[in-house]
Amino acid sequence: MSGGGAGADARLPAFGSDNWAPVHPAILDALVRANAGHVHAYGADPFTDEAVARVRATFGATAEPFFVFNGTAANVLALGSCVRSWETVICAETAHIVGDECGAVERLLGVRLTTVPSRDGKLSVDGLRSRIEGVGVEHRVQPRCVSITQSTEYGTVYTPAEIGALADVAHGAGLRLHMDGARLANAAAALGVSLAALTVDCGVDVLSLGGTKNGALGAEAVVCFDPALARDFVFRRKQTGQLASKMRYAAVQFTALLSDELWRRNAAHANAMARRLSAGLAAIPGVTLTQPTEANAVFVTVPRASVDALAGGGAFYVWDERRTELRLVCSFDTSPADVDRFLSHAARVLA
């Protein structure tokens, strides 16, 4: 997997990542609304109270949200509420915590990540069962948590039934279920369900709730659905350097995203642009889709000699250099014109 981008000229259509997108205007407006007068620091303010209430209206009255700066911290803190240093987290080998967080979980929690092969980014029930072993044996690291990424690193989406099946196996073995929900909004929009339907309703114990990829300036949250996981969270958040003094600016972004389903509108638009891009690319000779386009990411292989020329028409990531697999991600602000412009360029390059 390559982290290198191609075609990063800001004047060109940008499919490098939804992290590249600007801030949604409604969130900028919310930040301006919060930027008036003095309020208590560290979350003891009415803006944070409002955001907590909005999270609970979305996920249920017992949900306990904690706002943090970025997704890596959200994942480390969420998993830290579940595991101790002699325990392990089971996940797909393609999980974000494995490939794209620089060993943060291992370094900061001192736990092992036990991976399961996956062709589509998903952890299967059989794969999970195969890694629940050595329970109670003092010489073996102990399985304690399962982590899934929604939507996955390959843009695929877990259904509620799939999540529920994983939760049943995990809970039956005494394990917790964590969801890395950096693109949870895209998955829920793709399936036409609520955020709760993909999390607390099907057995997720703790959620890393993404905001940044859905139009926020830079805000994530950890949402604990089991009160036991929230018990010491404020201390671990502080010790990990993730307690914002001016918490209102992170909190108000979630109020905006969770009001009037802005999260769904942003995600549904990104997904629709990805479907448009996917269909157009699939019709071009020499392009092969490697994954179904279920959320806002498109994965294709192209002839190796065409990559540089393709980059002249828009930004993307070379995901797997060995087989020239590209990843193209759409955002809330991707326009049909952006997609069509890139498709026209791709058709010329590959003609």
Domain range for 304 is 5-22+263-349
195 lies in the same domain as 79:
yes
- The per-residue pLDDT for 10 is 56
Specify the CATH number for the domain of residue 107: 3.40.640.10
- For 145-189, write each residue's pLDDT tens digit: 999 999 999 999 999 999 999 999 999 999 999 999 999 999 999
327 lies in the same domain as 341:
yes
255 lies in the same domain as 274:
no
Nearest by Cα to 67 from 93, 45, 37:
45
- For 58-97, write each residue's pLDDT tens digit: 999 999 999 999 999 999 999 999 999 999 999 999 999 9
12 lies in the same domain as 59:
no
139 lies in the same domain as 178:
yes
15 lies in the same domain as 35:
no
Distance CA 187, CA 183 (A): 7
236 lies in the same domain as 270:
no
- The per-residue pLDDT for 9 is 57
Exposure string for 229-263, b = 16+ CB within 10 A, e = fewer: bbeebeebbeeeebbbeebbbbbbbbbbbbeebbb
**Band of residue 314 on the pLDDT scale cut at 50, 70, 90:** confident
**Band of residue 1 on the pLDDT scale cut at 50, 70, 90:** very low
- The per-residue pLDDT for 4 is 42
54 lies in the same domain as 129:
yes
Cis ω for the linkage preceding 124 (within 30 of 0): no
Task: Pick the last residue of a domain from 238, 260, 282.
Answer: 260
18 lies in the same domain as 54:
no
- For 2-41, write each residue's pLDDT tens digit: 444 554 555 789 999 999 999 999 999 999 999 999 999 9
Task: Pick the last residue of a domain from 260, 293, 312.
Answer: 260
Distance CA 95, CA 121 (A): 7
> Is the torsion defined by CA of 119, 130, 177, 243 positive or negative?
negative
* CB-based contact 182:213 (threshold 8 Å): yes
Distance CA 82, CA 150 (A): 19
Distance CA 217, CA 70 (A): 10
Mean pLDDT to the nearest integer, 281-293 = 96
125 lies in the same domain as 234:
yes
- Quick one: what percent of the chain has pLDDT higher than 90? 95
102 lies in the same domain as 169:
yes
Distance CA 164, CA 316 (A): 34
Q: What is the domain count for the chain?
A: 2
* CB-based contact 221:182 (threshold 8 Å): no
Specify the CATH number for the domain of residue 275: 3.90.1150.10
Mean pLDDT to the nearest integer, 335-342 = 96
Distance CA 64, CA 190 (A): 26
Phi, psi at 68, each rounded to 5°: -135, 180
- The per-residue pLDDT for 7 is 46
Task: Pick the last residue of a domain from 196, 231, 260.
Answer: 260
**Cα 261 to the center of its chain, rounded Å:** 18
Give the pairing of strands 325-329 and 316-320.
antiparallel
105 lies in the same domain as 155:
yes
- The per-residue pLDDT for 3 is 40
Nearest by Cα to 56 from 217, 168, 209:
209
